[in-house]
Amino acid sequence: MSSDGSAGDRRRVSHVPTGVDKLDASITGYPRGRTTLIMGGAGSGKTILTLHFIAAACARGERCVQLLTEEEKDDIYSQARSFGWEMEKYEKDGTLTVVEILPERVGGMRLPEKFQDFLQFIKVPKGANLVVDNMSVFGMAAEAIRYRERMDSLVFKLKQQGCTTLLVFDDDLEAAMRSALMHSTFSVVRLFKRDNPFTDRRERAMEVIKMRNTRIPSSHIFYEITDAGIFIEGEGKANFTTVKS
């Protein structure tokens, strides 16, 4: 059985909106109660993608938790504010809980050890929307096999908890870790930049590498980052392929 317990469970999963205009027409949304990996290089838009998800879920009044391991809350809030989202308001009314572990990291906390029980550490309520930005710090110096075990156990616990989770990872992980992650999680979305030789433009694009029990687009989805956040170009892709992995 796969780590998220999905083997044999071919019922259609429902999806939680991404919060990005036109994106749900392409990727349907994030599988509810499951874990999605958001991978991408530096500056590819991972954090902004997760902010769309959290801001939209908070606006619907759903419980959200953000675990920040790399950036301070102030910086995240000011990025969100630049797009018109007042995260402080949601934090004050109890819709959003933000946990920062940068201070603990700076203070020498041993992250790989913390990984195992970090669910208790952050006390995620049942059914909450959870973002961990960024998970890569938990993988440093871990052996691939131990890392896979930890990921499987984390993804399993999150499913039991009914959390719809986005785990952010950097693209430049070593191959064994990357492969462990891809197999442990229910769906994988990758953000990247590429040079278009015809226009000399640097384009931003995302691809759905997998999303179990869900139709996924067969082509890349192009986007820009604007003063309103992620802007999907075109109308969203019409080409779908049905993949059950």
Ligand X SMILES: Nc1ncnc2c1ncn2[C@@H]1O[C@H](COP(=O)(O)OP(=O)(O)OP(=O)(O)O)[C@@H](O)[C@H]1O
Residues in contact with Mg ion by the rule CB under 5 A: 46-47
Should residue 139 be labelled a site residue for ligand X when binding is judged by CB under 6 A?
no
- Please tell me whether residue 19 binds ligand X under the rule CB under 6 A: no
First to last CA, the chain: 12
| Per-residue b or e along 28-44, where b marks 16 or more CB atoms closer than 10 Å to that residue's CB | bbbbebbbbbbbbeeeb
Q: Could you tell me whether strands 96-100 and 64-68 are parallel, antiparallel, or unpaired per DSSP bridges?
A: parallel
Query: x/- string (CB under 6 A) for ligand X, residues 56-95?
Result: --------------------------x-------------
Residue among 88, 98, 117 at smallest CA distance from 50: 98
Q: Which is nearer to ligand X, 72 or 117 (CB)?
A: 72
**For the purposes of burial, counting CB atoms within 10 Å of the CB of 140, is it exposed (0-12), middle (13-18) or buried (19 or more)?**
exposed
Stretch that binds ligand X, among 4-12, 36-44, 118-126, 231-239 (CB under 6 A): 36-44
Token pair 């083997």 in the structure block, residue:
7
Candidates 99-107, 118-126, 176-184, 220-228: pick the segment binding ligand X (CB under 6 A): 220-228
Quick one: how far is CA 184 from the chain centroid? 14
120 lines the binding site for ligand X (CB under 6 A): no
Residue type, position 128, single letter: A
| Binding piece for ligand X, criterion CB under 6 A, among 40-48, 109-117, 136-144, 205-213 | 40-48
* Nearest residue (CB) to ligand X, 148 versus 169: 169
Total residues at the site for ligand X (CB under 6 A)?
Answer: 12
201-211 and 187-196: which strand pairing? antiparallel
Site residues for ligand X per CB under 6 A: 40, 42-48, 82, 225-227
